[in-house]
Chains A and B, each alone.
Chain A
């Protein structure tokens, strides 16, 4: 290709056909239709009945003959009519030009506008099982990532995540997990939206003041992503309900506002082997770790004893920078997504501290405690009949 030649020059020279003409030719058998895109796009959507021959970037010399051979194989011989397509009609035009000029093909056309125009005109495509055309579009920025792909997105659509608390941490975490397409989000909270929450609990808004937080969160989530099913648990977690509530979920996000609940959740999640992504915030600081029972430490390995009240004030007493909820809640969402898809390195055995005043992250190692009464080798095996019985955490925390 001469260096002064533009794409428009090529497209003017090459035989172009419309999507409708392509479909007609495909159905009548008058032409062989070939997808020239990269493999990752092909997973996304394609034309039924097509063949596949990736043209690579610009159908360069090096790939030219290999590409030509694949097209020939699909068509039968270099004289038969062939229609190439790609995403937008550019790569296929260049490829058609190369096949005609350099490889002796007699009748190669490019589908103008590509698959994009084909879909805009309402023509049918074949998509991988489980994702509709709308979903493919909605999650395209995810499926483009090699580490995610359609497979990863489907894992998220089929995942069930429980959030303890639809407040400071639960709000941003739920928002982004919903955006990501986590199929079911359970929200445990018996509180109502208060104006003082709106400085950080961005899933709620001024119109929702007075409403139950789970209902407010559900409304925001449904408007953001109808793929997500929200299950409201308008209650506080306690020994009588914890097992029944957590058992149906895959991963738990701990955004609880008190120690007894954190210890209860820990003990129950270890019993049922549910991973918990745990975070806490206060003033300008945040902490986060991921507890996967028996793979890494549990909450008790890290904090065997709760602190006295004066060492652990609430945000209502000491204050919290609103963005801290966002930073830590989103780090929690990030952990959940990695666990669901099985990618990256979750914070197992790692405690991440964030200081927002200095904008500094510090990482501390967390080890499994050999004497942990919950997950240590000496911990008692809990029989099925005792699964729902727990000690008095209020007493434990009152110390």
Chain B
């Protein structure tokens, strides 16, 4: 049962949960399970074609899955899947992005 770490910006969509335990054997399966359990995350994570959105980085423990097998990367019980979007912060003057 790998653990998915949900970034703060996605927690409203997971009812505030920061860590979600899933069954999935691969990173892709784990994320899809998350999307099934919390449908509001689906569009944030996946494109309409079912691929992981390019602007979402996913790590298996500390390694980007892009340098491993992408969504087919195996995720074992003790593993952590980290979802990481970029942040820019700012006082809010720039509201167009």
A and B associate in one complex: yes
Q: Could you list which residues of chain A lie within 8 angstroms of chain B, going by C-beta atoms?
A: 167-169, 191, 194, 196-197, 256-260, 262, 280-285, 287, 302-318, 320, 351, 353, 362-367, 394, 397-398
| Chain A contacts for B56, CB-based, 8 A | 307, 311
Assess whether A303 is in contact with B86, with CB atoms less than 8 Å apart.
yes
- Given contact pairs A257-B90, A314-B95, enumerate 11 new A-B contacts (beta carbons under 8 Å): A191-B93, A258-B90, A307-B56, A309-B96, A312-B87, A315-B91, A362-B82, A364-B59, A364-B82, A367-B64, A398-B97
In the complex, what residues of B have CB within 8 A of residue A168's CB?
89, 91
Instruction: Indicate if the CB atoms of B93 and A316 lie closer than 8 Å.
Output: yes
A-B contact count (CB 8 A): 117
Closest chain B residue, CB of each to CB of A368: B67
Q: Does B44 contact A (CB under 8 A)?
A: yes
* Contact bitstring B41-83, A, C-beta under 8 A = 1, else 0: 0001000000000111101001110010000000000000010
Contacts of A260 in B (CB 8 A): 97
Which residue on B lies nearest to A358, using beta carbons? B18
Cα–Cα distance between A210 and B44 once the two chains are bound (Å): 39
CA distance A67 to B64 in the complex (A): 59
Bound complex: CA A267 to CA B59 (Å) = 25
Residue of A nearest to B82 (CB): A364
Residues on the A chain within 8 Å of B93, using CB: 191, 257, 316
Report yes or no: B85 in contact with A307, Cβ–Cβ below 8 A. Answer: yes
* CB pair A364 B55 closer than 8 Å: no
Best-surrounded residue of B67, B86, B90 (most CB of chain A within 10 A): B90
Contacts of B7 on A, CB cut-off 8 Å?
Answer: 285
In the docked arrangement, what's the CA distance between A256 and B88, Å? 7
22 contacts between A and B (CB under 8 A): A168-B91, A194-B91, A256-B88, A257-B88, A257-B90, A280-B87, A302-B86, A304-B54, A304-B55, A306-B97, A307-B56, A309-B96, A309-B97, A313-B9, A314-B88, A314-B90, A315-B90, A318-B9, A353-B84, A362-B82, A364-B63, A367-B64
Is there an interface contact between B95 and A366, defined as CB atoms closer than 8 Å?
no
Tell me what chain B mostly uses at the interface: helix, strand, loop, or mixed.
loop
B10 contacts across to A, CB distance below 8 A = 311
Q: Given the interface contacts A282-B9, A365-B62, A365-B63, does A197 sit within 8 Å of B91 by beta carbon?
A: yes
Name the one of B67, B84, B92 contacting A314, with C-beta atoms under 8 angstroms. B92
Min C-beta distance of A214 to chain B, whole Å: 15
Q: How far is the CA of A362 from the CA of B67 in the complex (A)?
A: 19
Could you tell me the distance between the alpha carbons of A262 and B97 in the complex, rounded to whole angstroms?
Answer: 12
Cβ of B39 within 8 Å of any chain A Cβ, yes or no, is no
Contact B97 A259 (CB under 8 A): yes
Q: Which residues from B are CB-within-8-Å of A302?
A: 57, 86
The yes or no answer to B8 lying at the interface (CB within 8 A) is yes
- A-chain residues with CB within 8 Å of residue B94 when the two chains form the complex: 257-258, 314
Q: Give Cα A257–Cα B64 distance, bound, in whole angstroms.
A: 25
Q: Provided the pairs A282-B9, A304-B54, A305-B55 are in contact, do residues A364 and B62 lie with their beta carbons within 8 angstroms?
A: yes
Does B89 contact A366, Cβ atoms closer than 8 Å? no
A256 CB contacts on chain B under 8 angstroms:
88, 90
Distance A309 CA – B95 CA, assembled complex (angstroms): 9
CB distance from B20 to the nearest CB of A (A): 16
Among A262, A285, A307, A317, the residue within 8 A (CB) of B8 is A285
- Contacts of B82 on A, CB cut-off 8 Å? 362, 364
Residues of chain B in range 1-39 having any CB-CB distance to chain A below 8 Å:
7-10
| Nearest residue, chain B, Cβ from A313 | B9
Looking at the assembled complex, report how far the CB atom of B85 sits from the nearest CB atom of chain A, in whole angstroms: 5
Q: How far is the CA of A259 from the CA of B92 in the complex (A)?
A: 13
* CB pair B64 A365 closer than 8 Å: yes
Q: A307-B55, A311-B44 are in contact. Are A317 and B89 (CB under 8 A)?
A: no
A314 near B57 with CB under 8 A, answer no
> Quick check: B64 and A320 within 8 Å, CB to CB?
no
CB of A257 within 8 A of CB of B91, answer yes
Give 9 closest A-B pairs by Cβ, nearest first.
A316-B92, A257-B90, A280-B87, A305-B54, A307-B55, A314-B92, A314-B90, A258-B94, A305-B55
Asked whether B8 lies within 8 Å of A284 as measured between CB atoms, the reply is yes
Tell me if B87 and A287 are in contact (CB < 8 A): yes
Judging by beta carbons under 8 Å apart, are B55 and A258 in contact? no
CA distance A129 to B4 in the complex (A): 56
A274 to B91, CA, bound (A): 26
A125 to chain B, nearest CB (A): 48
